Amino acid sequence: MFKSGTIYSNFTPLVKAPVIGYRISGDDVLNILKIITKKNFSKYHSLVQIVKIYKKDESILDECSVVYFKSPKSFTGEDVCEIFLHGSPLIASQFEQLLKDLKVPGLRLAKNGEFSYRSVLNSKNSLKQAKAINGIISNESFSGLEYNKRVLFEGDIVSGLVPLREEVINLFSEITASIDFVDDEHFNFNQIKKKIRKFFNNCNNLLHKSRTNIEQKNICRIMLVGPVNVGKSTLFNKIIDKDRAIVTDIKGTTRDILSNEFIINNKKFEIFDTAGQRSKQSKIEKYGYKKAQKVSKMIDHFFVLIDKNTKKSDILVLLKDFMINQNYSLIETKSDIYKYNSHNIKINYCLDRDKIYQKLKLSSIYHKYVKNNQKKTDFNLEEIDLLARILEYEHDLVNENDILIIAQQMRNILDDFSYEFGYINNEDVYDRVFSKFCIGK
């Protein structure tokens, strides 16, 4: 993957937003900044500068903040600059065109992950830390987030795999040495086999512990159901704070099922909007309604939305269709135009988002379905996969009596660890053989 050259890429999505950010990394950063801003950045390491960016015809492309990081004190270890354009995809495309028109030899769009890759090559991050950045962004869970942050800020050492990695290097060194020094009394085949069994026992224990920690339920799933036009999509948009679902007063606008995750007060939810229930459904609506019924099996809690026009019998049909028992709240909508005299929750679209959260009692609903004992974890999902992969060797290795085959299999396990921690080479191994077993002293 690695090719030299100066690389650039947007680091925010190219969508309408307050800012769109670009990062450039490589030997030509100062040169590029000089051409596009007419300013020499060499003395401005790590300082925000507000500058104009000029197009080829000298007109102004944008006025924006730029930060320059002098090598090696940058994310990649190379010269880097970060440019915060006004968040217009049109400006972003003009900016990319400007970079292309510079015709700087080797200047090109970065490949996926190339900035992180360069940071590893230049020893700014370990392989594991680069992966942790990905883990932080990927929103696995709050415990996963805390773990990945510890890896990034404190280093590989916090990983629960570290003791196993040490164990496997020691074991492989011992096996290698036993092959090369067959007559040495240090190496007893039965001892080695005992250590192999112990190694796999440790793997099994760790896998069990980490799985129970990480697979704890940490999300509460809520579904909005109700008659057509009652205001489900309006509430859905309000809750996720996006104009994502189409809201109209034409009956049957929401024909498929939409879902979105949202987080409030460290609590993660997924909310589902559904097609409304009515006697005359179109074919696509019927399909959407059926799909929602299927998904309803994984739902923790339902908000059954009703208004003045909803009959008791409609509610009973909904409860039956979605197999709802006690796990629902009745919510009366459009309280700005209708007067209700019940104890049900009442909402309307004029309420702000926080007020809606409060009225819907989202916090207590969460605690009803999600246990609040998220444990600290020393693993992420990828590391758990690695443990499971290593355990696939267990049966063959424990039953193998040919030391050469055992050595080969252990090398395979070492290589699996290399994907997590960077390559473990034969020198690491031989260092231990000689220092630990005092051979040839």
Ligand X SMILES: Nc1nc2c(ncn2[C@@H]2O[C@H](COP(=O)(O)OP(=O)(O)O)[C@@H](O)[C@H]2O)c(=O)[nH]1
Residue closest to 22 by CA, chosen among 112, 96, 124: 96
Contact window for Mg ion (CB under 5 A) among 92-100, 115-123, 251-259, 421-429 = 251-259
Looking at the Cβ atoms of 233 and 380, the one nearer to ligand X is: 233
Give the C-alpha separation, 152 to 136, whole Å. 9
The answer to whether the CB of 349 falls within 8 A of the CB of 238 is yes
Give the C-alpha separation, 174 to 407, whole Å. 10
Looking at the Cβ atoms of 228 and 240, the one nearer to ligand X is: 228
- Footprint of ligand X on 231-290 (CB under 6 A): 231-234, 247-249, 253-254, 276
CA 50, distance to chain mean position in Å, is: 32
CA 242, distance to chain mean position in Å, is: 21
**Which one of residues 76, 254, 281, 380 is an interface residue with Mg ion (CB under 5 A)?**
254
Work out how close the CB of 258 gets to Mg ion at its nearest, in angstroms, rounded to a whole number. Answer: 9
Q: Where are the alpha helices (DSSP H) in 327-425?
A: 353-360, 362-369, 381-391, 394-399, 403-421
Tally Cβ neighbours within 10 Å of residue 363: 13
Sheet holding 258-264, edge to edge: 258-264, 267-273, 219-225, 301-306, 328-332, 345-346
Work out how close the CB of 236 gets to ligand X at its nearest, in angstroms, rounded to a whole number. Answer: 7
Any contact of residue 126 with ligand X (CB under 6 A)?
A: no
229 binds, among Mg ion, ligand X, none (CB under 5 to 8 A by kind): ligand X
Work out how close the CB of 58 gets to Mg ion at its nearest, in angstroms, rounded to a whole number. Answer: 51
Work out how close the CB of 360 gets to Mg ion at its nearest, in angstroms, rounded to a whole number. Answer: 17
The answer to whether the CB of 177 falls within 8 A of the CB of 189 is no
The answer to whether the CB of 293 falls within 8 A of the CB of 243 is no
- Footprint of ligand X on 169-228 (CB under 6 A): 226, 228
Looking at the Cβ atoms of 131 and 334, the one nearer to ligand X is: 334
Looking at the Cβ atoms of 135 and 226, the one nearer to ligand X is: 226
Give the C-alpha separation, 381 to 385, whole Å. 6
Any contact of residue 397 with ligand X (CB under 6 A)?
A: no
The site string for Mg ion over 323-362 (x = CB under 5 A, - otherwise) reads ----------------------------------------
Tally Cβ neighbours within 10 Å of residue 370: 18
Work out how close the CB of 310 gets to ligand X at its nearest, in angstroms, rounded to a whole number. Answer: 11
Work out how close the CB of 255 gets to ligand X at its nearest, in angstroms, rounded to a whole number. Answer: 10
Instruction: Name the residue type at position 372.
Output: N
Tally Cβ neighbours within 10 Å of residue 144: 21
Work out how close the CB of 324 gets to ligand X at its nearest, in angstroms, rounded to a whole number. Answer: 17
The site string for Mg ion over 219-238 (x = CB under 5 A, - otherwise) reads -------------xx-----
Sheet holding 60-69, edge to edge: 48-54, 60-69, 80-86, 19-25, 7-10, 108-109
Looking at the Cβ atoms of 57 and 249, the one nearer to ligand X is: 249
- Footprint of ligand X on 328-387 (CB under 6 A): 333-334, 336-337, 348-349
Q: Given the rule CB under 6 A, which residues bind ligand X?
A: 226, 228-234, 247-249, 253-254, 276, 333-334, 336-337, 348-349
Q: Given the rule CB under 5 A, which residues bind Mg ion?
A: 232-233, 254
